[in-house]
Each structure stands twice: as C-alpha cells, then as structure tokens.
Structure 1
Amino acid sequence: MQLNLSQLDQHLQQNLKSVYLISGDEPMQLIDAADRLRLSIREKGVIDWELFHIGKSFDWGMLLQKSANMSLFGEQRIMDIRLSVMPDKVGQQALEQFIQNCLTDYIIISAPKLAKNHQNHKWVKLAIQTGVWIPVWPVEIDKLPHWLIQLAQRKNRILSQEAAVFLSFQVQGNLLAAKQELDKAFLMLEDDQEISLGFLQQQVADNSKFTLWDLIALSLTGEHSVIPEILGKLRQEKIAPFLIAKMLQKECFDIERASRLMKEGQRKEQVFNQLQIWMPRQKGVNKALGRYSAQGWQKLWVRALKLEKVAVGLEKGDFWDDCCDQLMLMAGAPIWKH
C-alpha cells in the first residue's frame, strides 16, 4: 500500500498497519512523518520503543537478535529503524527477516529516497505488501505556505495565511529553518494567539542580531567569556526576561533528562531523538553532558525557575545579573559547584 504524506493524518484515524516505510531525501518530512506515526501508536497504549540508527558498519546480527527476543511481558513494541544509507545484500536479507519476525509489533523504517532498483529489493516489497510505503518529496515553494499552516495546526496553533507566505519566502524552501522559526513563535505566544504577519516580520528582523538561541548555544559549548557582552546586547534589544528564563529552564531540563536516561543505559542517539535534540543543538548538549551530572543540571533548572519568578516580580533580585550568573554556570565558569 502506498500513501502520500498528505494522506497520513486521515490514515492514522483507521486501523494501523504493522509496517511503515518512509523514504525520501527531505529530512524534516522524514522526521515529521515518523513522529506522527509514533504518537499515534503510543496513543494505542504501545510504549516499548526500540531505536536503531543504521549506517555502513552496522551489526545486522544485533538487529536480528533484537527482533527474535520478545518484548518484556510480551507487549507490542515500536521498532524504529533509521537508515542513513541503503543496506548491502547482508543488510537486505536481515531487514527481510526482521520484518517477518516483528509483524506482531509496529515497525517504522525511515530510509533515503528509493530508486527503482531499490523498490525491487525483497525487504522493500515485503514492507509494502504487509504495510504502508510513504515516499516524501521536497515541498514545492508554492505549496510551502499550506504545509506551514498544517504544521502549526498539528501543534494546535494558528498561523495566518499572510504570515505563512512571508515565512515561506524567508526560508526559501528550508523546512528545518521554517520549523525553527515557528518553534520560537510557539514559545513566545500564548496557545490561543494567532501567529501574525507582523509578529513574524519582527521576529525575522531580530534574527539579524544576536539571538537568545546564539547565547544559549555559546553557554552550552562553554564559551563563557562572551556571555556578558551578548547578554547586554539582548538587554538593549529588549528581549523579554520571561522568555529568557523559560528558554533556560527548557535547556537545563532537557540536559538533565538526557543525563538520567543515558545513566539508565539508553544510547545517546536514542535519547537525543526521544528528546528531539536535533543536530544544531547536539554539539552544545554533548559538551554540557560532560560538564555536570544529572543532579547538577537539576539544580540549574531549579535556579532557572527562580529566575522566572524574578522576571515576573514574584521574587526580589536583579534579573540581568542573576541571568548572567545562570549562563556562566551553564558554561562551566568557576562560580558555583554542583
């Protein structure tokens, strides 16, 4: 069975198939489709999730071993396969066997674009025969505004038509950049506020200056010497203190969770995908994980919660001084010990 990505939401309202093969060279759409599938499957009560990042040197025997082992308590699993390259002959045979072994589970396979010869591979034919194939394609420029509006709707947010057209022009087909702009808007506006043209125009204008995202990235990578200067510029640009506190909370919370999950034995790649820590953030988060323990990042998260109270006037303090201390601590400056 083959579906267009635009048909996926309607399909998810029906009985789900055991196998989903998503293929294409547009990473944002691959991620989006897999996320929507996982969410729908989890809503059916399936919480056991196995993630496999597969490259050229992958151990296919390990994959087959996993597929042969029943889930703890015999419950259904989400078997999430992410192919960075198309498999060789050994991998093709392993995937065919894997699909046969896991038909009582839910299998999501994300793969590069399938050329015609790839579509003749036995594992691909088996996946399509027993499940659903969703090829994804780059979004055409004239269809990008509609894609952005739908993306906002899936987050229960409202993006105006004029704002969608403006953002489409600004990102020039870069879906990841478009999503990042919308994520910033989601964070700055209340759930029931429309993302308007004026709001996005101001947000894009602000991007030509140092951004809060830049500042947090520098703190995570440990470049603390530039923090006071950049924070001062953000203060001059009247960046809302409440927004800064919220962003610092999210960053500390995500890193604390990542640290705990990895300590429990989960692979870093699995944790990053689970917490949606994508490539632009991974360099900084990697360094931050080695800077403090999970308990240390929890203390920093609590500190960021207090910073929010200072920002809204519930506690006394100098927000900008306290914020600078918070960023310096996150960067590993010798101010405070965890």
Structure 2
Amino acid sequence: MQVYPSRLAQHVKQNNHSFYMIFGDEPLQKMLSIEAIRKQALQQGFDERQQLSVDNQFQWSRLIEATQTLSLFSSKQFIELELPTGKPGTEGSKTLCELAANANPDTIVLIHGQKIGRDVQNAKWFKALDKQGIYVPCYPLEGNNLHQWVAGYMNETGLKTGPESIKLLSDYCEGNLLAAKQEIDKLLLLFPNGLVTEQQIIESVVDQSRYNVFQLVDVMLSGDAVRMVKMLYRLEAEGVEPTIVCWALTREWQILNTLLADKQAGKSINWNQHRIWKNRQAFYLSAMQRMSFATLDNIQQKLQVLDQRIKQSQVMRPYVELCHLCLLFVPYDLTSIPFE
C-alpha cells in the first residue's frame, strides 16, 4: 500500500505493519518519514534497533540472523536496511520474499534507498513486502504540493502568514525542502509571537546573496544597464542559483504587466495592493515609461523558455542569458542575439 509522507505520521499511529519501504531522492521527507516510523515503533515497545547496509560485500544471511536474534532485554526489534540502488539482486530478492512470507509481529523491517522505477515496484520481492506493509515515495515537491507543505509546516510550528508569503518562501526554497524547513525554523526564532509578514520574510529569510537579487531588480527597473551587468557578474561569482534570479525577473514581469494594464485602462496605481513600498515606486514609474506590451510579451516568452531549460540543466552559461533578459527590461533591442 502506498502512503505519501504528508500522511505517514497519522497513518502509523492507526496502523501496524511489519514492513516499511521508503524510497526517493528528497532527503528531508525520507528523514522525517524514517523518524516517524522509529518514534511509533519505540512507543510500541520495539526498543532494540539494528542497522544494516547493502553493498557488494553484504551477506543476506545477516538480515535473516538479525530477524532471529533478540537480546536479553528486548522481545521486539526494529531493523533498518539501507538498499541504496533499490535492487537487492537474486539472493536478496529471495531473502526478502522469505521474510514477507514469514512476517513476525515482533519484528519490524524498514527498507530505504534512492528513487526507484517501475521495474523495482513490479519486482516479486517488492510486491510481497508491499502486501504486508507500506511504500512511502519521497520525491521533490513542486507547485501547489510545495506550497501546501510550506503552509502545513508553518502552521505546525505556530507561524501565521498570508498566501503571498507562503508563495515567496516556496519559490525561494524550490528544490530544497531542507532549506525551507530551516528558514521556517529561523522565522520562528525571530518572531516568537507567530505573526510574519511578507516584508519580514524578505528581510529575514533572504540571505545576503538573495538580497542582492532584489538590489539587482531595482537597478534593472531604474534602467542602469552598466551597473546591472556588474551586479549579475557578482551574483554569478557568489554562486547564486540562476533559478533565484529567474524567479525575481518573473515576479517583476508580472507586476509591470499589471501596472501597465491599469495605466492603459486609466486606473490610478494602488501601490499597497501590489506591496510596493514608497522607496521603490520611482523604479516602477521609470520602467513603465520605457516598457510596452510588445516588450513584455517578448520577455514573458523568453522567461518561460529559460526557466524550463535552467531547471532541466540544459543551459551551459545561464547567467549570459539572464543578462540578455535583464537588458530587455531596460529595454535593449536584442533581436539579433539568439536565445537558445
């Protein structure tokens, strides 16, 4: 039976299993899932824990011996078997099938490893253990799933904030759930009253290199191309992830597109609605005088393509193309320069 990490803690409180399989390439979910199972097992009296790791020299008889050996001080045992590749081989498959056929209520076996494919899930040993226990897939969270995790963990820690703040934090930590947890834990220390605003997240969560990304945006909006290019070089040298810069450009495109549409419709700008503080309003007014919908459409198309290719690691020098994109906000005519 498959159980997702978000529901695992509640599931193990209500159900007992002899076998647990945790596979995936998202480290935080794996760690929290293993800890949840360990905690529940300990509460049920499984206070003897053994850890085994499968490598080229591993003898599967050790696993059988572990399930049959009890100390003088415990009648229940918890065995953790690390299976890095997710493929136990012929002997291992036979051993795991035997364990599944002779499940012992006084023994829990937890098997964990990296991401597995359909071939492993269709293997005889996997299906045998799955019938007796549960499978927990731990894969990176994206989009709404990531937003829900961030919102859930903030609520669990007692922090309260708005949806825009959750989106900001999610975008900043996309692809690194551990970083999201660490930042939320830090916010709890900084704001023990539990209330956090979007501006406080910008000022507190964002580290110095990320703060420089916001500085880059202001320079870009002001139209200072020379300083903007110098800042991009600095961000690249400091190792700032290209996805962070791409996120910032996407955010500014969305704001400018909305502001320009309101201006064309004859509406006055509601700066508070867009959460643009007074010290930054001049940057947007300057950019709006230079921008057109045609330019914004061009930027949108190139942002979408570049964002996808960066996430797929298909760009050799992402900062070169990020520089081109920033220059479009100035705007510069780059029609003669190809975007891959």
TM-score (norm 1): 0.54
Which residue of the other structure, out of 167, 170, 187, is the alignment partner of 1:168?
170
The residue that corresponds to 1:27 in the other structure is 27
Aligned residues of 1:141 and 1:173 also touching (Cα < 8 A): no
Aligned residues of 1:52 and 1:80 also touching (Cα < 8 A): yes
Runs of 5+ unmatched residues, structure 1? 210-338
| Aligned equivalents of 1:199, 1:74: Cα separation in 2 | 51
| Aligned equivalents of 1:105, 1:84: Cα separation in 2 | 22
Q: Give the residue type in structure 1 aligned to 2:95.
A: A
Residues 264-313 of structure 1 show CA distances to partners (whole Å, capped at 9, x for unaligned) of xxxxxxxxxxxxxxxxxxxxxxxxxxxxxxxxxxxxxxxxxxxxxxxxxx
Deviation at 1:84, TM superposition (A): 1.3
Q: Give the residue type in structure 2 aligned to 1:30.
A: K
| Aligned equivalents of 1:199, 1:105: Cα separation in 2 | 49
| Aligned equivalents of 1:39, 1:61: Cα separation in 2 | 27
Deviation at 1:103, TM superposition (A): 4.4
Deviation at 1:171, TM superposition (A): 1.7
| Aligned equivalents of 2:136, 2:206: Cα separation in 1 | 37
Deviation at 1:147, TM superposition (A): 0.6
Identity across the alignment (%): 29
Aligned-residue CA RMSD (Å): 2.8
The residue that corresponds to 1:129 in the other structure is 131
- Paired residues in the alignment total 208
| Aligned equivalents of 1:175, 1:76: Cα separation in 2 | 34
| Aligned equivalents of 2:30, 2:198: Cα separation in 1 | 28
| Aligned equivalents of 2:80, 2:116: Cα separation in 1 | 18
Deviation at 1:120, TM superposition (A): 3.1
The residue that corresponds to 1:289 in the other structure is none
| Aligned equivalents of 2:158, 2:111: Cα separation in 1 | 29
| Aligned equivalents of 1:159, 1:62: Cα separation in 2 | 49
Runs of 5+ unmatched residues, structure 2? 211-340
The residue that corresponds to 1:204 in the other structure is 205
Q: Give the residue type in structure 2 aligned to 1:95.
A: L
Residues 137-185 of structure 1 show CA distances to partners (whole Å, capped at 9, x for unaligned) of 321223212111223444x432524332111111223212222222333
| Aligned equivalents of 2:14, 2:166: Cα separation in 1 | 30
3-state DSSP class of the match of 1:73?
Answer: coil
The residue that corresponds to 1:93 in the other structure is 94
Deviation at 1:196, TM superposition (A): 4.1
Which residue of the other structure, out of 132, 142, 145, is the alignment partner of 2:144?
142
1:148 to 1:56, Cα distance in 2 relative to 1, 3 A: farther
1:141 to 1:107, Cα distance in 2 relative to 1, 3 A: same
Q: Give the residue type in structure 1 aligned to 2:149.
A: W
Which residue of the other structure, out of 104, 107, 110, is the alignment partner of 1:108?
110
1:25 to 1:56, Cα distance in 2 relative to 1, 3 A: farther
1:195 to 1:92, Cα distance in 2 relative to 1, 3 A: farther
3-state DSSP class of the match of 1:173?
Answer: coil
Q: Give the residue type in structure 1 aligned to 2:63.
A: L
Deviation at 1:108, TM superposition (A): 1.8
Deviation at 1:37, TM superposition (A): 1.8
| Aligned equivalents of 2:70, 2:196: Cα separation in 1 | 46
